[in-house]
Amino acid sequence: MKFYTFFFASLLLMSCSDKSKIEVDTIVTDATIYTVNEAFATATAMAIDNGKIVAIGSDGEITGKYESKNTVEAEGKFIYPGLYDAHCHFYNFGLTLQEVDLRGTKSMNEIVSRLQAFQKKKNPTFIVGNGWDQNDWAVKKYPTKADLDKAFPDIPVVLNRVDGHAIIVNSKALQLAGITKDTNADGGQIELANGEPTGILVDNPMELVFKIIPKPTRKVQIAALLDAEKVMFEHGLTTVNDAGLDPDVIHLIDSLQKAKLLKLNVYAMITANQKNIDLYLKKGVYKTDQINVRSFKMYGDGALGSRGACMHKAYSDKPGQFGALLAPIVGLKDVAKQLAPSDFQLNTHAIGDSANTVILKIYKEVLAGTKDRRWKIEHAQVLREADFDYFKFGIIPSVQPTHATSDMYWAGERLGKERLKNAYAYKKLLQKAGTIALGTDFPVEEVNPMLTFHAAVARKDSKEYPKGGFQIENALSRAETLRGMTLWAAFSNFEEKEKGSLEVGKWADFVLYDQDLMKVPENQIVKIKPAGTYLKGQKVK
């Protein structure tokens, strides 16, 4: 009798013990988890339910309290919060996947060869290409339309420079766009030779050409977004900040997400024209678990590579050229004044030191008396010494570390020795602002976030040049860089309570690596690839 009493009591205890464990969707064990919380603590396991982290700690703590039919045994791998790209052009990148890729070309002859191969394969009636950069050529001068006219006399050709602030077009495109030597070039430049357009257009005049490019069909738009998403997940990116979208594309992204066809998280910056401002000030901030529409993207100036960035003093390698603001100061200020009383952020492209001065002064003026607005300067590439202090007023620098390592070969020629000291000054910006958001600006740069990480901490390109690092005093630590690609990027979006670190109550967006980003030798960083990418607890790559 005593034996049976003991036996049934043991069964009862075992049953109670099993029921005492909480059933969750997923348990992750045997990992080194960088939580990126305030203490930058690590853990080895976490429990996930309904897409969110419900507990994080040691293997014993998690498996002792939780059970799941789905256990991810990390086998010693390293886990980080899902990576952000705090400034990119996700939709446009997807479109480039449908067009001609000109990145890495070394001459106009190579460009023509790629275009001819595309023509033979696709038989298009209009050719668009992206990614050429004359700074990579043996002769670092803008091309002309001559080679394009010879190869494509009857088909319009439009080729976007890598920075998106200059194009080369053929005569057919100029003709269709109605561009002549007498066309107004305010806010940009129409290059002339012997009194006629060379085919090079910089900044605002480009819009005349863009109007004649056939608009992508809905089928092409959807393909662009889905193709781009695959690339994001391959690189461990779970949230992208798309820097400049029109309402139609924002609505399409939202629709695809609701239909469970697009999973990626998107922070959408609305293109800041008056029509869009009127629409969204009436609608207000729009947010779901996947899309966050709470900011406008404004352009202050052009790019340094095309000498469109607006400078206080002339370019060192082209006396008399200062670049240009893309709108009058009164117009830039008007946009800021309209948005200041709203809940929307304003994120402004500013590269040249003059453009940064103008935008920072406008921000300070219109935001006076407000709190926690988190308006951003996108790029903050070249600044005067006195202007760094503006970032103490809650303005967030959103920068792209690979711009420094791409531009370092020629930036000194553009800026001169003294101005270069305060260019790509990420550490100095962080010290003033207390936070910094890191991105790539793809497709201007490569998507790969490991290039971002490496450029930020080593100040070298993927070939480990230069020895000792480019202006190494502005390198970020590995912890700062990881924060800039996760929690600080989330903070810049008002998303830090839901994403950016691996903490209880936040979405289980994370990425696994075989090697430790915090400890691997610098020259190995660019070789690291994700072993798995998870979004809301579900494996997407």
Task: State how far the Cα of 442 lies from the Cα of 400, in Å rounded to an integer.
Answer: 10
Q: For residues 321 and 323, what is the distance between their CA atoms, to the nearest angstrom?
A: 6
Q: How many CA atoms lie within 13 A of 498 on its CB side?
A: 15
Q: Angle at Cα 355 formed by Cα 353 and Cα 356, nearest 5°?
A: 65
CA separation for the pair 158, 131 (Å, rounded) = 11
Quote the crossing angle between the two packed helices 274-283 and 247-258, to the nearest 10°. 40
pLDDT tens track, the chain, 541 positions: 444 444 444 444 444 445 689 999 999 999 999 999 999 999 999 999 999 999 999 999 999 999 999 999 999 999 999 999 999 999 999 999 989 999 899 999 999 999 999 999 989 999 999 999 999 999 889 999 999 999 999 999 999 998 888 999 999 999 999 999 999 988 899 999 999 999 999 999 999 999 999 999 999 999 999 999 999 999 999 999 999 999 999 999 999 999 999 999 999 999 999 999 999 999 999 999 999 999 999 999 999 998 999 999 999 999 999 999 999 999 999 999 999 999 999 999 999 999 999 999 999 999 999 999 999 999 999 999 999 999 999 999 999 999 999 999 999 999 999 999 999 999 999 999 999 999 999 999 999 999 999 999 999 999 999 999 999 999 999 999 999 999 999 999 999 999 999 999 999 999 999 999 999 999 999 999 999 999 999 999 9
Euclidean distance between CA atoms 165 and 310, whole angstroms: 13
- E strand residue ranges, 374-446: 376-379, 396-399, 437-438
CA–CA dist 299, 409 (Å, integer)? 25
Q: In the prediction, which pLDDT does 267 show? A: 99
8 A C-beta contact, residue 259 and residue 511: no
User: Which residue is associated with the tokens 């800026």?
Assistant: 415
How far apart CA 27 and CA 534 sit, in angstroms, is: 13
Buried b (16+ CB within 10 A) or exposed e, 334-367: bbbebbbebebbbbbbbbbbbbbbbbbebbeebb
Q: Which residues of 445-470 are buried (b: 16+ CB within 10 A; e: fewer)?
A: bbbbbbbbbbbbbbbbbbeeeeeebb
Question: Do residues 335 and 365 lie in contact, with contact meaning Cβ atoms separated by under 8 Å?
Answer: no
Dist CA 527 CA 515 (whole Å): 10
What is the value of pTM for the model shown? 0.87
